A and B are shown apart, each in its own frame.
Chain A
Amino acid sequence: MELIRAERIGKTFDVSPPWLTRALAREPRLLLRAVDDVSFGIRRGETLGLVGESGCGKSTVARLVVGLYRLTTGTITYGGASIDALAAGRAGRALRRRLQMIFQDPYASLNPRWRVADIVAEPIRAHRLLRGRRAVQARVDELLVQVGLAAADGARYPHQFSGGQRQRISIARALASEPEFLVCDEPTSALDVSVQAQVLNLMRDLQRELGLTYLFISHNLAVVHHVADRVGVMYLGRIVEIADKRRLFATPRHPYTRMLLDAIPDLGLTGKARTPVAGEVPSPLDPPTGCTFHPRCPLAGDRCRREVPLLKRVAGVPDGAEGGEAACHAVEEGRDGASGRGV
Chain B
Amino acid sequence: MSGASLLDVRSLRIEFPTRRGTLVAIDDISFSIAPGEVLGVVGESGAGKSLTGAAIIGLLEPPGRIAAGEISLHGRRIDDLPYDAMRKIRGRRIGAIFQDPLTSLNPLYSIGRQLIETIRTHLDLGESAARTRAIDLLREVGIPSPERRIDHFPHQFSGGMRQRVVIALAICANPQLIIADEPTTALDVSIQAQIISLLKRLCSDHGTAVMLVTHDMGVIAETADRVAVMYAGRIAEIGPVAEVIHAPKHPYTVGLMGSIPSIVDDRERLVQIDGAMPRLNAIPPGCAFNPRCPRAFDRCRIERPELIAVGVSRAACWLYPGAGADAGAQARAGAVR
Binding site for B on A (CB under 8 A): 53-54, 162-165, 192-198, 200-201, 204, 219-223, 225-226, 249, 259-269, 274, 276-277, 280-281
Complex-state Cα separation, A265 to B276, whole angstroms: 26
Closest B residue to A276 by beta carbon equals B197
Within 8 Å CB of B218, what residues of A?
264-267
From A163, A194, A260, A269, B190 is in contact (CB under 8 Å) with A260
Determine which residue in B189, B192, B215 has the highest number of CB atoms from chain A within 10 A of its CB, and name it: B189
Cβ contact within 8 Å between A194 and B269: no
Closest B residue to A54 by beta carbon equals B188
Smallest CB separation, A126 vs chain B (Å): 31
Mark B183-221 against chain A: 1 for CB-CB distance below 8 A, else 0. Answer: 000001111111011000000000000000001111101
25 A-B interface contacts by CB (under 8 A) = A53-B188, A192-B44, A192-B45, A192-B215, A193-B44, A196-B261, A197-B271, A198-B274, A200-B270, A201-B269, A219-B189, A221-B189, A259-B190, A260-B189, A260-B190, A262-B193, A263-B189, A263-B193, A265-B218, A265-B222, A267-B217, A269-B241, A269-B246, A276-B194, A280-B158
Complex-state Cα separation, A10 to B241, whole angstroms: 46
Known: A53-B190, A277-B194. A266 touches B221 (CB 8 A): yes
B residues 251-265 touching A (CB-CB < 8 Å): 255-256, 258-264
Smallest CB separation, B179 vs chain A (Å): 20
Determine which residue in B255, B270, B272 has the highest number of CB atoms from chain A within 10 A of its CB, and name it: B270
B300 within 8 A of partner (CB): no
Smallest CB separation, B96 vs chain A (Å): 22
Cβ contact within 8 Å between B269 and A268: no
Complex-state Cα separation, A4 to B177, whole angstroms: 54
Within 8 Å CB of B262, what residues of A?
222, 225-226, 267
Complex-state Cα separation, A102 to B128, whole angstroms: 55
B residues 118-165 touching A (CB-CB < 8 Å): 158, 160-161
Main secondary structure of the interface of A (DSSP, over half): helix
Cβ contact within 8 Å between B272 and A201: yes
B60 within 8 A of partner (CB): no
Complex-state Cα separation, A220 to B218, whole angstroms: 12
Smallest CB separation, A292 vs chain B (Å): 15
Cβ contact within 8 Å between A269 and B242: yes
From A200, A226, A264, A268, B189 is in contact (CB under 8 Å) with A264
Smallest CB separation, B6 vs chain A (Å): 25
Within 8 Å CB of B260, what residues of A?
193, 197, 222, 267
From A53, A197, A200, A226, B273 is in contact (CB under 8 Å) with A197
Cβ contact within 8 Å between A223 and B190: no
Within 8 Å CB of B245, what residues of A?
267, 269
Q: What 7 A-B pairs are tightest by C-beta distance, nearest first?
A: A265-B218, A197-B259, A226-B261, A192-B44, A197-B270, A53-B188, A263-B193
Smallest CB separation, A36 vs chain B (Å): 20
Complex-state Cα separation, A95 to B160, whole angstroms: 42
Complex-state Cα separation, A165 to B258, whole angstroms: 20
From B188, B263, B270, B276, A201 is in contact (CB under 8 Å) with B270
Cβ contact within 8 Å between B44 and A194: yes
Complex-state Cα separation, A261 to B269, whole angstroms: 22
Complex-state Cα separation, A249 to B258, whole angstroms: 20
Known: A197-B270, A198-B274, A219-B188. A267 touches B256 (CB 8 A): no
Within 8 Å CB of B161, what residues of A?
280
Within 8 Å CB of A262, what residues of B?
193
Within 8 Å CB of A280, what residues of B?
158, 160-161, 190-191
Within 8 Å CB of B222, what residues of A?
265-266
Known: A201-B270, A260-B189, A261-B263. A267 touches B160 (CB 8 A): no
Complex-state Cα separation, A314 to B221, whole angstroms: 34
Cβ contact within 8 Å between A277 and B273: no
Within 8 Å CB of A263, what residues of B?
189-190, 192-193
Smallest CB separation, B327 vs chain A (Å): 26
Cβ contact within 8 Å between A225 and B270: no
Cβ contact within 8 Å between A164 and B190: no
Within 8 Å CB of B241, what residues of A?
269
Cβ contact within 8 Å between A267 and B261: no
Known: A53-B190, A265-B221, A267-B218. A200 touches B261 (CB 8 A): yes
Within 8 Å CB of A259, what residues of B?
190
Within 8 Å CB of B45, what residues of A?
163, 192
Within 8 Å CB of B197, what residues of A?
274, 276
Smallest CB separation, A113 vs chain B (Å): 23
Determine which residue in A192, A249, A261, A277 has the highest number of CB atoms from chain B within 10 A of its CB, and name it: A192
Q: Besides the contacts A193-B260, A194-B256, A263-B190, what 7 more A-B pairs have beta carbons closer than 8 Å?
A: A195-B44, A197-B259, A198-B274, A263-B192, A266-B221, A267-B260, A269-B221
Closest B residue to A270 by beta carbon equals B264
Closest B residue to A265 by beta carbon equals B218
From A204, A222, A269, B263 is in contact (CB under 8 Å) with A222
Within 8 Å CB of B221, what residues of A?
265-269
Cβ contact within 8 Å between A268 and B44: no
Mark B285-310 against chain A: 1 for CB-CB distance below 8 A, else 0. Answer: 00000000000000000000000000
Within 8 Å CB of A223, what residues of B?
261
Cβ contact within 8 Å between A193 and B256: yes
Complex-state Cα separation, A219 to B245, whole angstroms: 24
Within 8 Å CB of A193, what residues of B?
44, 215, 217, 256, 259-260
Complex-state Cα separation, A102 to B37, whole angstroms: 42
Smallest CB separation, A280 vs chain B (Å): 5
Complex-state Cα separation, A223 to B189, whole angstroms: 13
Cβ contact within 8 Å between A264 and B44: no
Closest A residue to B43 by beta carbon equals A192
Complex-state Cα separation, A219 to B190, whole angstroms: 11
Complex-state Cα separation, A160 to B119, whole angstroms: 47
